[in-house]
Structure 1
Amino acid sequence: MVAFYSSALDGVAANPALPTPLLLRLIAFDGGGHGPPFQALHRPGLPEPAVAAVLTHPVLDARVEFALSGQAEPEQRARLADDASPKVRAAVAHGPEWSHDPRTKVRPLPDAVCGRLLEDPEVSVRTALLNSRHVAPSFLASLVGHPGPAARRAALRVWDELAADERTTLLDDPDPEVRRSAALCACPDDAGLTSVLLQDPAALPEALRRGLLDRADAERFLAEGSHLVELAANPSLPADLVDRLAVDPDDAVRLAVSLRPELTEAQRAAIDFTVAPYARGDVDWVAAGIADQHVLHRAVTSGHPLLRRAAARSPHLPPELLRLLAEDTDDLVRTHLAVYHPDTPEEVLMSVYARLGGTFSAWMATGHPRFPREGLAARYADHPKGIYRQLAVRDPAAGPDLIERLSHDPDVWTRQAAAGDPRLPLPRLLEALALPELARSAGANPALPQSEMVAVMDEAGVPA
């Protein structure tokens, strides 16, 4: 297979204008034992004939790829739950590794299908299901009485949604791992459970971080100088012990104290802590209140960058808090805002786009609802930086002559953007199809004639 035609084939596989007969031809391709191109199997809205062809594809990897597609409907993926291969069934059970949009969640498989997968004879399939991030809470809650201890442990992921008698059942479970995990769920409200867990080395760090502490236990760990980061994060830690940890020699301990929710801004500012430039801001109480306006206001107006970074991941920010974070000088605050908030101002989107570049910025430019389009050609077609020149292609007013000029740009990302634009004149589009760095973009161009799509497939050895 010729290398650049292989790349062109990947583009054709992703081409939104690919006719169904050619899509079916491509999906039937064995790809030298690897199946059809990834892009064909991860297309959104695959027609039923294409889905049917994937479900019976002789190449195992083709069925696995479709089972892992974040673009496929869960009902479509579920049709592979009875596949002959445990590798395929495990892929169905686990689900997509990632969503094409970080702001959206992958819809879970129907509960009935999950039930079948949980009874699969292969342990790999059962394990994949119980480790999946895409299982509905209703199904997890139904596992409290399951005969398998791994399934009962999975039910603990929805602890807050379980009835009191269900929680008691798990706390008294015959399996020690289930009992330990249930106790860790219950310990924030039970000092007795916390004290017991602190005797268990496997449970100690988490119990110390979130359990309801007796003062004697807290003082013991403080005196020993062990697990002080976890102790500093504990919500029930007495105020005078918090004050002692706020001046601990360990910067990580002081940082943990600085994130406590009960501190005033003056108390927080008085702590000497260091924040890493790219620390995400994983703060439990902010994440738990991601839609709570009071919590968001406290975090957004804080002088602590990690609190603002955590709040910036909320899509529920009201306009006044959104405006404050849009004016924040912290790069990661603005990045989180650009990714997660649908109303992020244009100037923030543009600054994040220019700073990050690469595939992330390409995603943001095409996937964010507020990313600008009009006027980009006039503003950026002659910009000294290629990352800005490629934006000119997004302008609906850009003419064919400009698109052709940009297809010869020194910056490869700009050339690729132009090669994929349907306004590119046909002679240049056909030239781009034969250039290694532009073949994939040209193959995905909706203006590519069907005869050229056929020629790409013929050259790549896809059977007619």
Structure 2
Amino acid sequence: MKHLLAGLAANPALPSELIDRLIEVVDDDIALSLTSRDDLSRAQAVALAARDEDSAVPLAYGGRLTAADVDPARLPHAALALLDQGAGEPEWARLFAADPDVGRREKLAACPGLPPDVTARLAADPVVDVVVELALWTTEPDVAAALAAHPHAEVRRAAAANEATPPAVLAALLSGEDLPPARRCLVCDRHGTPFVHDPHCPRLDCDLPPGASCDGSHASALHEMRRAALTNPATPAEAVVGFAGHPSPLLRWALAAHPGLPPEAARRLVSDPLPGVRADLAENPAIDEPLMRRLAEDEDVDVRRGLALNPRVPLDVLVGLAGAARIGSTLLPRIALASPEEVERLAASRDAAARMLVAQRRDLPAGIRDALADDPDAKVVKAVAPHPGLSEGRLRAMVERHGVQVVTPVVLNPDVSAALLEDLARHEPPVRKALREIARHPRATAAALLACLADERAKPLAAGHPALPPHVVTELLSDSHDAVAEAAAGNPSLPRAVMTALAP
């Protein structure tokens, strides 16, 4: 019965008085459905939060609760959610900064726009995890800069990841210059040094990273701090260049994706022995054309796929990659940026891979769109089939020529007709993925949905579709699969009398 009530709580046609009745018996599943409703009144939201404290947080994030509705002593998590959105009271921040619950202070430290006195108190918190959150999320450059010099290396790592940290400070974190040395790290907080954490540590309550070590120099913590700084786009290019030859593959990997990657660093990384480094380098728009052409010949498929995702890759290189890089049905950034002349040239190419790439766009001129829809290559037709504006005749012709290969893309076309959906739902052989898409399609008819009920994975989707006949929806409430019955309970076509009978 609980699954039926959860479905009923999500039913968009549920009368307001039945919502009130569900609030009275709320549990976790019902609460999840109720907090997602668009039609909850303020009074209902307040009542739901009073009966189920966990509901108060999504209600606060969803704008259903305001500061006037929340007592921070009774609903602290909702109050923190409002502070996180800048909608709480400043006094709440002062209250939580002194809260004995460390988790609440951590959550507060991640909130924006804190009063200066609260920020100062959190920066001096005796629990390092609280200070780490502040260093990671503060938007104040002065605060981030001060925390970059914190005695604990974990706080410095967080500051190194924060884009609000000034570039000069990020450079100092990488070089180790102009900052006092760190005095503590997570490893030496817990163990005598020297210590190396077992990569296969059997302790379930241990949260030290595998291989973390400290001999007094906080080596692994400083390594992670440098990795965070190399990943940070605010770190200046001149500060990162020396890491192209670093012995740590993780640092080279972080460097490879840096948006300001200097050319000399890129030229070193192109020969890196680690494919992941070369793959991230290939995707980086900062690299030049000669390097792209070299990476196009890389033996690793992930490297070639990374290059295909680069928005600056030359078109001829991209076309060459299309068949060999396992790109799939993706609109690539370079194709999305192609000029009208380039689009026309690709669409007229003798290479089906080039035509398939441009067929992924959804803003093609009508003539090009229709020509690609009539293409003899099934992969090209499959790519263009969801393009808006295609006539029903062309969509049907696609299915007649290419069969199951294009049924699902045709179903995904925004202009597909109800009649065609009915025909495709009865297609032989059945196309299971297409049935799932038909079952959720707003234009699906009762006849199409009844055909979808025969498929195990499409059935829960069809059970919640409003075009399903009410008597069928009612019958599905007793289906042996809870997911089907729950979807039926959430179907707006469920008769009101049945809703009333289901409600407690």
TM-score (norm 1): 0.62
Structure 1 residues 169 and 436, CA gap change in structure 2 (3 angstroms): same
8 A Cα contact 1:93 1:128, kept in partner:
yes
8 A Cα contact 2:35 2:55, kept in partner:
yes
Which consecutive residues of structure 1, in runs of 5 or more, have no partner in the other structure? 96-106, 287-295, 339-343, 356-360
Picking from 21, 28, 45, the partner of 1:25 is 21
| Match runs of 1:38-437 below 5 Å | 38-57=32-51, 62-68=52-58, 72-73=62-63, 75-76=65-66, 79-80=69-70, 82=72, 84=74, 89-90=76-77, 93=80, 108=85, 110-112=87-89, 115=93, 117-130=96-109, 135=111, 137-139=112-114, 145-149=120-124, 154=133, 156-157=135-136, 162=140, 169-170=146-147, 178=155, 181-182=158-159, 186=165, 188-189=167-168, 191-196=171-176, 200-208=222-230, 211-212=235-236, 218=242, 222=245, 224=247, 227-233=251-257, 239-271=263-295, 272=298, 274-276=300-302, 298=312, 303=318, 347=386, 371-372=414-415, 374-375=417-418, 376-383=420-427, 384-392=430-438, 400=446, 402=447, 405-406=450-451, 409-437=453-481
Alpha-carbon distance between aligned partners in 1 of 2:55 and 2:145, rounded to the nearest angstrom = 41
**Amino acid across the alignment from 2:8:** V
TM-score (norm 2): 0.58
8 A Cα contact 2:463 2:488, kept in partner:
yes
- Any idea what the Cα deviations from partners look like across 1:22-53, whole Å, max 9, x if unmatched? 1111111055xx57453123322312232132
Which protein is bigger by CA-based radius of gyration?
2
**Amino acid across the alignment from 1:456:** L
Alpha-carbon distance between aligned partners in 1 of 2:31 and 2:260, rounded to the nearest angstrom = 54
**Amino acid across the alignment from 1:20:** S
Higher alpha-carbon deviation: 426-435 or 170-179: 170-179
Aligned residues: 388
Alpha-carbon distance between aligned partners in 1 of 2:272 and 2:103, rounded to the nearest angstrom = 46
Cα drift, residue 233 of structure 1: 4.7
Alpha-carbon distance between aligned partners in 2 of 1:389 and 1:264, rounded to the nearest angstrom = 46
Which consecutive residues of structure 2, in runs of 5 or more, have no partner in the other structure? 182-218, 363-382, 389-394, 396-403
What percentage of aligned pairs have identical amino acids?
Answer: 21
Alpha-carbon distance between aligned partners in 1 of 2:158 and 2:53, rounded to the nearest angstrom = 36
8 A Cα contact 1:140 1:154, kept in partner:
no
8 A Cα contact 1:9 1:443, kept in partner:
yes
Structure 1 residues 428 and 75, CA gap change in structure 2 (3 angstroms): closer
Q: CA RMSD in A?
A: 5.3
1:445 match: secondary structure: coil
Alpha-carbon distance between aligned partners in 2 of 1:222 and 1:260, rounded to the nearest angstrom = 18
8 A Cα contact 2:45 2:64, kept in partner:
no
2:89 match: secondary structure: helix
Alpha-carbon distance between aligned partners in 2 of 1:216 and 1:67, rounded to the nearest angstrom = 41
2:38 match: secondary structure: coil
Alpha-carbon distance between aligned partners in 2 of 1:346 and 1:239, rounded to the nearest angstrom = 41
Which fold has the larger relative contact order, with Cα–Cα distance below 8 Å and residues 6 or more apart in sequence?
1
1:421 match: secondary structure: coil
- Any idea what the Cα deviations from partners look like across 1:336-382, whole Å, max 9, x if unmatched? 999xxxxx9872799xxx99xxxxx9xx98xxxx8456445345231
